[in-house]
Structure 1
């Protein structure tokens, strides 16, 4: 559900160290601008974003984000004609557009979605809030350059880069009230350059700032291209899932992440890519029918590599949905059947048809038993019982096509998939706890799918 919240994002910094890839807020991280990551992650709850930009970077930032309709939000641009007056002055420029309590974030910072969710929890409590990080190592913080916070009993006492005592790093995330603008006006009478830290410290004299801990969730102030590179490598490593198959971990995922980063630059949605990859399945299907087995094998492996891209793009753009996972799973099963059916049609023999039917059944049962266990126990199979996922099955078909042993490969698929299914059945039947519990539901279908 989207609430009528507002967020101010400060993007008026010069960012000269990024050269042609700048300004920093629109430098590409996993294929999309840094600031777009923040907007997308907040978009489930924030309907309007006020972006403070400079005259120099307005065209590039607005060119990347537009009016926000592509992301499903409204974006208002406010030009800071005097960026040398620092980010506190940039914040003050947002005043005419703010209707109530709002979020403040930095346009050149990356925030993990869980950190932003923690910030949103603060809206359930009255007052001003700042998010602090007590674990610099986990957040890639450069201590010498970072803004620091000293708090006592979860209340901010001091903030700045060179304060004598500190116990948190400032993440650049705040929950503020419109009364903050009166503090900026008061400071503006005595100094031209005003930082957000100046504003927070001054306002804390009259109204307390409460501290929200980041609890180690990832964030990063991206100052240099090297920072951007290190962060992208860290984020890419997070795409490897615990339940990825052997081929996916060792080969497919390393390539698909880079492909997904390129796809993310365009407007293609994960569901559109899922459907597109399903239709791509007709390429190896047709080639197997025509007995162009080597080429068919190569395209089967290409399909296997691209198979993870829809999910990766969903995570990059923070648009993962259960319906998307459901669609992907269903079309994958159709794709599996099509590829094996292509081999069967190509050989045109009753023997191969029978083997192909058993291979399709085995492939479906691998998926079904995994989903069934997850639905019943909340966990997936581990060890050998977790093998023969789609990545391994398509890899074996590729080997069969390239080597010319397709029928033997189908036989191997039959043996291995049904062996794994048998092991899974044995594991579930003999597992302790849930397997022997009586079903108390009056629903006559309670014991059955």
Structure 2
């Protein structure tokens, strides 16, 4: 009965694994949470647990949550006027990943790793001299795995917004947000890769993923 961000991993809701380390990073001034299915439950949880940080957290509801994640992203864009990070709600990142990613140099950054065997459902990245040239789950030739985190710095925000519009117009509203990064690379605005191998993160999609994440997170402590 709970939306995915409230599924508990070792007794802690998924969303808290993102919010708590983000709140502790001084460079992050605002956190925008786009809710979808059963979004009122997420809003209630955030408003209750993070009341003291209310000025840094903005809740935006996406009533088209059944569409692609590029639509979810578009709901947050009206409130973005500085550099920003896009993260997936069903990922758990070890805090060190977020700290390293925020500090990484570059104007378009994607987080990747090189230390796992990728499956059909994993997002794959093809690189050229450390820059992304293609990203898709269906790639047969690739160099790294994308771990669901992207950063866009202020000088390229207008380009990013134009690419979001272009993707929606050309490909429709059912595609994933990663298509925007691919669109930027087609315009020679190639993202740099931040190597986040060996630090630790988990994606929670299935009961098996949940069990793996619970064991892995316990090992971090």
**Pairwise same-fold verdict (TM > 0.5):** yes
Alpha-carbon separation, structure 2, partners of 1:233 and 1:71: 30
Q: Which has the higher strand share?
A: 2
Correspondences of 1:99-110 after superposition (within 5 Å): 99-110=81-92
- 1:148 has 2:124 as partner: yes
Q: Which has the higher helix share?
A: 1
Aligned partner of 2:211 in structure 1 is 229
- 1:194 has 2:170 as partner: no
Q: CA deviation at 1:168?
A: 0.9
CA RMSD of aligned residues (A): 1.8
Q: CA deviation at 1:233?
A: 1.7
Q: Secondary structure at the match of 1:52?
A: strand
The partner residue of 2:109 within 95, 116, 129 is 129
The partner residue of 2:71 within 89, 93, 109 is 89
Q: CA deviation at 1:176?
A: 1.4
Q: Where does structure 2 lack aligned partners over 5 or more consecutive residues?
A: none
Q: Secondary structure at the match of 2:173?
A: coil
Q: CA deviation at 1:110?
A: 0.5
Count the aligned residue pairs. 212
- 1:172 has 2:152 as partner: no
The structure, 1 or 2, with the larger RCO (C-alpha pairs under 8 Å, 6+ apart) is 2
Q: CA deviation at 1:72?
A: 6.9
Map Cα deviations across residues 148-172 of structure 1 (whole Å, 9 max, x no partner).
Answer: 1111111001101001211111111
Decide whether the 8 Å contact of 1:149 with 1:160 is kept in 2.
Answer: yes
Q: Where does structure 1 lack aligned partners over 5 or more consecutive residues?
A: 1-19, 240-449
Aligned partner of 1:40 in structure 2 is 20
Alpha-carbon separation, structure 2, partners of 1:163 and 1:106: 21
Q: CA deviation at 1:237?
A: 3.2
Q: Secondary structure at the match of 2:186?
A: coil
Decide whether the 8 Å contact of 2:47 with 2:54 is kept in 1.
Answer: no
CA change 1:212–1:126 in 2 (3 A) is: closer
Alpha-carbon separation, structure 2, partners of 1:73 and 1:150: 39
Decide whether the 8 Å contact of 1:89 with 1:184 is kept in 2.
Answer: no
Aligned partner of 1:216 in structure 2 is 198
Larger radius of gyration: 1
Aligned partner of 2:40 in structure 1 is 59
Decide whether the 8 Å contact of 1:101 with 1:176 is kept in 2.
Answer: yes
Alpha-carbon separation, structure 1, partners of 2:184 and 2:220: 39
Moved over 3 A (4+): 70-73
